[in-house]
Copies of this chain bind each other. A is one copy, B any other.
Amino acid sequence: MKLYLLKNGVNPRRVRIFLAEKRIRLGDDVPFEEFDMESAGHKAPAFLAKNPMGTLPVLELDDGTVLSESVAICRYFEEQRPEPPLMGRGALGAAMVEMWNRRMEHELLLPVIGTFVHTHPFWVGKREQIPAYGELLRRQVVARMAWLDGELARQAYVAGDTYSIADITAQVALLTARGALKLPIPDEQTNLARWWAAVSARPSARA
């Protein structure tokens, strides 16, 4: 197999962290190639034949089957190597992680990425920008961080008592909010800060 990643890519980082938590080593266990935004190999015709969406990450299996979408790639590895479970156990466990991962994605990660795309100079000329929409999303990001802080007063990790893929999604969202949007965790959000310190201290945070 071969995993195609993007240097500093938000979604590829989700898979990097997921694999590190599974003790699956990039390079040794899973050969990989890293594209960058400048050469943009993932937008070249040869690569679009693999993934017409032109997105990364992409996992190519030995029989030529191509998997795109971070969470789909994570699910492949979850099924192949169930320990430690990162996508929940049993009907209720799997459903709870699914719920929280989707909340982190729809309420936090997608608005963070949307704010970045629609307001940041980096994307001028690369994507159609609608700044008013970016500002609407920025307000949503701020509100959702406060909401998540409240939720984390009741549970250690995003989906409950144990670390899961929902933490990874929240982690890359807040990393991007801090770096690209200059929206760090506010001082008063002490639950979010406690959680952030915990996930950042894991070895997978450097994956």
Contacts and interface: CB of A to CB of B under 8 A. Distances in A.
A61 B90 CA distance: 15
Interface string A120-163: 00000000101011001000000000010000000000000000
Given A52-B147, A130-B130, A95 B107 contact: no
Copies in the complex: 2
A37 interface: no
Interface stretch (A21-29, A74-82, A190-198): A74-82
Nearest to A70: B102
Given A65-B92, A69-B103, A130-B136, A98 B79 contact: no
Contacts of A30: none
A67 B99 contact: yes
Contacts of A69: 98-99, 102-103
Interface string A80-98: 1000000000111011101
Interface residues of A, number: 31
30 contacts: A53-B103, A65-B92, A65-B96, A67-B96, A67-B99, A68-B99, A68-B103, A69-B98, A69-B99, A71-B98, A72-B96, A72-B98, A72-B99, A72-B102, A73-B95, A75-B94, A75-B95, A75-B98, A76-B91, A76-B92, A76-B94, A76-B95, A79-B94, A80-B91, A130-B130, A130-B132, A130-B133, A130-B136, A132-B132, A133-B133
Given A130-B130, A133-B133, 5 more contacts: A67-B99, A72-B98, A75-B98, A76-B92, A76-B94
